[in-house]
Structure 1
Amino acid sequence: MPGSIFGTLFRISTWGESHGQGVGVVIDGCPAGLPLEVRDIQLELNKRKPGQNKYASPRKENDKVEILSGVFEGVTTGTPISLIVKNTDQRPKDYSNIVDVYRPGHADFTFDEKYGLRDYRGGGRSSARETIGRVAAGAIAKKILKEFGITLLGYTRSVGPVIVDMADFDASQIDENLFRMPDEAKAIEAGHYVDDIIKEGNSIGGTIECVVTGVPTGLGETVFDKLDANLAKAVMSIGAIKAVEIGAGVGVADKKGFDNNDFSRYEDGMLIKETNHAGGIVGGMSDGSPIIVRATVKPTASIHIEQPSVTRQKENKEIMIEGRHDPVIVPRAVTILEAMTALVLVDALMLNMTAKMDYLRKIYTI
Structure 2
Amino acid sequence: MAGNTFGTYFKITTWGESHGKALGVVIDGCPAGLSLSEADIQTFLDRRKPGGSRYSTPRKEGDEVTILSGVFEGRTTGTAICLMVPNTSQRSGDYSEIASYYRPGHADYTFDAKYGFRDYRGGGRSSGRETVGRVAAGAVASLILKELGITLCAYTKSIGPVSVNTENFRREAILTTPTCMPDEESSAKAEAYLEECMAAHDSAGGVVECRVDGMPAGVGEPVFDKLDASLAKALMSIGAVKAVEIGDGCAVSSSTGTQNNDPFLSEDGRITKKSNHAGGILGGISDGSPIIVRAHIKPTPSVFSPQETVNKNGENILVRIKGRHDPVIVPRAVVVVEAMTALTLVDLLFAGMPSRMEGLRRFYGCPSEQD
Which range, TM-score by smaller chain? over 0.9
Query: CA separation in 2, counterparts of 1:73 and 1:267?
Result: 45
Equivalent position of 2:77 in the other structure: 77
Name the counterpart of 2:369.
none
CA deviation after TM superposition for structure 1 residue 2, in Å: 0.3
Size of the aligned set, in residue pairs, is: 366
Deviation at 1:268, TM superposition (A): 1.5
Structure 2 letter corresponding to 1:345: L
Which amino acid in structure 1 is aligned with residue 55 of structure 2?
Answer: Y
Partners of 1:115 and 1:272 lie apart in 2 by: 51
* Alignment partner of 1:338 is 2:338: yes
Deviation at 1:120, TM superposition (A): 0.4
Misfit runs of 4+, over 4 Å = none
Whole-angstrom CA distance in 2 between matches of 1:195 and 1:182 = 20
Please tell me whether residue 7 in structure 1 is matched to residue 7 in structure 2: yes
Q: Give the distance between the partners of 1:176 and 1:63, measured in 2 at CA.
A: 20
- Equivalence map 1:53-92=2 (5 Å): 53-92=53-92
Q: Distance in 2 between matches of 1:278 and 1:53?
A: 35
Match status 1:321 vs 2:321: yes
User: Which whole-Å deviations, capped at 9, do the CAs of 1:184-238 have from their partners, x for residues lacking one?
Assistant: 1000111111011111111000001000000011100111010000000000000
Q: For residues 80 and 104 of structure 2, what CA distance do their matches in structure 1 show?
A: 38
Shift of 1:180: 0.9
Q: What RMSD in Å do the two structures reach over aligned CA positions?
A: 0.8
Partner of 2:355: 355
Distance in 2 of aligned mates of 1:268 and 1:350? 29
The residue type paired with residue 270 of structure 2 is M
Matched, 1:264 2:276: no
Distance in 2 (CA, whole Å) between partners of 1:91 and 1:184 is 34
Within 2, Cα distance between the matches of 1:48 and 1:255? 37
Which AA in structure 1 matches 2:235? V
User: What is residue 243 of structure 2 aligned with on the other side?
Assistant: 243
- Residue type of the alignment partner of 1:64: E
SS of 1:99 mapped into structure 2 = helix
Q: What's the offset of the Cα at 1:134?
A: 0.2
Equivalent position amino acid for 2:64 in 1: K
Say whether residues 1:175 and 2:179 are aligned partners: no
Alpha carbons 2:23, 2:87 under 8 Å: kept: yes
Write out aligned runs for 1:287-302 (5 A).
Answer: 287-302=287-302
Alignment of 1:108-187 (within 5 A): 108-187=108-187
Contact preservation (8 Å) 2:272, 2:288:
no
Letter in structure 2 aligned against 1:110:
T
Q: Provide Cα deviations, 1:59-87, integer angstroms capped at 9, x if missing partner.
A: 01000000000001110001100001000
Partner Cα distance (1:182, 1:258) in 2: 32
SS of the aligned residue for 1:117 comes to coil
What is the deviation of 1:176? 2.1
Q: Return the letter of the residue paired with 2:289.
A: S
Matched, 1:25 2:25: yes
Provide the secondary structure at the position in 1 that maps to 2:209. strand
Distance in structure 2 (CA, Å) of the matches to 1:152 and 1:188:
25
1:193-212 matches, within 5 Å, as: 193-212=193-212
Distance 1:169 1:131 in 2: 27
1:270, distance to aligned residue in structure 2 (A): 1.8
Cα offsets for 1:246-282 (capped at 9, x unmatched): 0000011111100100001112112221100000000
Q: What does residue 189 of structure 1 align with?
A: 189
Q: Which runs of 5+ in 2 are unaligned?
A: 367-371
Which amino acid is the alignment partner of residue 304 of structure 2? H
Which residue in the other structure is 2:234 paired with?
Answer: 234
- Aligned partners of 1:28, 1:351: CA distance in 2, in Å? 14
Q: Measure the CA separation in 2 of the matches of 1:242 and 1:194.
A: 20
Counterpart residue number, 1:284: 284
CA separation in 2, counterparts of 1:244 and 1:319? 32
Q: 1:170 Cα deviation (Å)?
A: 2.4
Cα separation, 2, equivalents of 1:267 and 1:92: 60
Question: Structure 1, residues 155-183: CA drift from partner, whole Å, max 9, x if none?
Answer: 00000000112233222321221111111
Residue by residue, what CA displacement relative to the aligned partner does 1:21-52 show, whole Å, maximum 9, x if unpaired?
A: 11100000001100000000000000010011
2:278 partner SS: coil
Residue 307, structure 1, aligned to residue 307, structure 2: yes
Equivalent residue for 1:225?
225
TM-score by length of 1: 0.99
- Identity %, equivalent residues: 60
The equivalent of 1:95 in structure 2 is 95
